[in-house]
Amino acid sequence: MHFLITGGAGFIGSHLTENLVADGHSVTVVDDLSTGSLDNLTALADHPRLRFIQDSILNRELIRAQVSICDRVVHLAAAVGVHTILERPLASLKTNVEGTESVLSACAEFRRPILLASTSETYGKNDANSLCEDADSILGSSSIERWSYATSKKLDEFMGLAYHASHDLPVTITRFFNIAGPRQSARYGMVLPAFVRAALANQPIRVFGDGAQRRNFTYIDDCIGAVMRLLRGSNVTGKIFNIGSDEEVSIFELAERVKQAADSSSRIILVPYEEAYPEGGFEDMRRRVPCICRIEAHTGWRPTTNLEGIIRKTILFERSRQDRPVSVPVHALSM
């Protein structure tokens, strides 16, 4: 099978690309490298079943042409990271909304099934004990730019379901909850790699706010396992699936656990939100934990790597990355 993966040079996309190629599939990656990196595709450099195109999902003619020659689409490309959203709100909205509509329109035209990636951000400030896929979205004021990302991804979900209803397009939607592990960049505000890199350098570990906000983390291999099951699954179209873990941790406790696992002398410091995000427009939520009953019922999937394992594996990767910097020439993968 021939897959088109938008955002395939990103953290999740590159791992999925590797898994699909290893399974014998061909993959075309479209990525503008605004947040992805060719380094993430090092293991597949010059692989005959991988084709890389550096371009934007806003290029409708390109997307239409690539969808027409593939068998299935995985749409992962999006503007990501709090700082990205706060610094470039209009460009982020265009990428997340117009880009997704471009992909969905092409999939409908050529009858290509699509897995559409969304995010736990769509639940907003809903801090229920266990968020099921039908739980309410409680989003903040439109004057707070932080909520534009959640709103744009929720609109992506509405569009995906509308294309499914109106065009009978096979659409499956995933909501990712804090996926973490090797290759995740700290550059866009991702908390675990930021903590790990600070700890390994014995620099202060910066915890935003009071650190009492609670999250869960899912290892990248578990995430890819869930996506692969959905791609192979039946009776999954027209549905939304949480992909996450039920193991909660406060952000301050996460910092403590990273420091201990890294045998670090780092100090843990609390940083007020107004200092962390001087551009303003930020508001946090206190708790976010998913219910994963739906994906378990449909595919049998549950995560297998606990938080201790996620921290340990991330530390091992970051240490190896420091020892062996990698770089992939663009010409090796681009067409």
Q: Which residues are annotated as catalytic? A: 149
3-state secondary structure of 202: coil
CA pair distance 240, 256, nearest whole angstrom: 34
What is the rounded distance in angstroms from the CA atom of residue 253 to the CA atom of residue 311?
Answer: 12
- What are the two backbone dihedrals, phi and then psi, of residue 106, each rounded to the nearest 5 degrees? -65, -40
> What one-character DSSP code corresponds to residue 46?
T
Residue 92 φ then ψ, to 5°:
-65, -45
Q: Two tokens at 226? A: 């869930």
78-81 long-range contacts, Cβ below 8 Å, gap at least 24?
78/7, 78/117, 78/153, 79/34, 79/35, 79/149, 80/10, 80/35, 80/188, 81/35, 81/187, 81/188, 81/189, 81/190
Of the CA atoms within 13 Å of residue 174, those in its CB half-sphere come to: 24
In DSSP terms, 216 is beta-bridged to 248
